[in-house]
C-alpha cells in the first residue's frame, strides 16, 4: 500500500467509524478494487445494509467473499452469516460451516460459538453434539 492509499484507507476507516458512509464508500471502494481486504469487508457491510449506498446484495456478497478469500476472519464470519441466513446468497449450511470454521480456526470466538449452536440445533446442518461441545469449549464455554 503506497502512502496515498494509506491516507485514503485511514480516512475511509475514520469516515466509516463516524458513520459518514457515503464518504467512506468514496474512499474505500477504490481500495477494495485494488484488493485490500479490510476495504472490501467494509464495502460489503455498506452494500449489505444500505449505508451510504443503495442496498446491493450482489456487491455485498462480491466484496465479503473477496475479503474472506484473503483470510480476513471477520469477513469469513460475515460470509458464514450470509450463507446461514440466506442473506445476499442462497442459504447453505455447508457453506456457512465452511466459512465459520475458517474464522473460528483463526480464534474468532463468535464463529466458534455460532458453530456450536449450528451443530447443537441441527437445523441447517446435521446435528452433532460432540462437535457442538468441541466448538463451545474452544469459545470458552
Specify the 3-state DSSP secondary structure of 90.
coil
Query: Left if phi > 0, otherwise alpha if psi is -120 to 50, otherwise beta: which for 88?
Result: left
Q: Copy the grid coordinates of residue 63.
A: 466484496
pLDDT single digits (tens) 58-74: 999 999 999 999 999 99
User: Are 51 and 62 within 8 A, CB to CB?
Assistant: no
In angstroms, the CA 46 to CA 72 distance is 17
In the block, cell 485514503 appears at: 8
Give how far Cα 74 sits from Cα of 7, 19, 79, Å.
23, 19, 9
Contact 137, 121 (CB under 8 A): no
To the nearest whole percent, how much of the chain has pLDDT over 70? 100
**HSE-up of residue 64 (Cα within 13 Å, Cβ side):** 26
User: What are 5-23's pLDDT values in tens digits?
Assistant: 999 999 999 999 999 999 9
Count other Cβ atoms within 10 Å, centred on residue 45: 19
| Share of residues in the chain with pLDDT > 90 (%) | 99
**Is the CA virtual torsion 116, 103, 20, 40 positive or negative?**
negative
- Please tell me the pTM assigned to this model: 0.94
**Average pLDDT value for the chain:** 97
Amino acid at each position: 500500500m503506497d502512502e496515498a492509499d494509506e491516507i485514503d484507507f485511514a480516512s475511509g476507516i475514520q469516515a466509516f467509524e463516524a458513520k459518514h458512509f457515503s464518504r467512506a464508500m468514496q474512499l474505500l471502494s477504490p481500495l477494495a478494487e485494488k484488493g485490500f481486504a479490510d476495504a472490501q469487508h467494509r464495502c460489503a457491510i455498506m452494500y449489505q445494509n444500505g449505508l451510504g449506498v443503495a442496498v446491493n446484495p450482489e456487491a455485498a456478497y462480491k466484496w465479503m467473499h473477496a475479503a474472506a478469500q484473503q483470510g480476513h476472519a471477520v469477513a469469513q464470519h460475515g460470509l458464514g452469516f450470509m450463507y446461514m441466513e440466506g442473506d445476499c446468497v442462497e442459504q447453505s449450511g455447508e457453506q456457512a460451516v465452511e466459512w465459520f470454521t475458517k474464522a473460528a480456526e483463526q480464534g474468532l470466538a463468535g464463529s466458534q460459538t455460532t458453530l456450536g449452536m449450528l451443530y447443537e440445533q441441527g437445523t441447517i446442518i446435521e446435528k452433532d453434539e460432540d462437535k457442538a461441545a468441541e466448538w463451545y469449549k474452544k469459545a470458552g464455554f
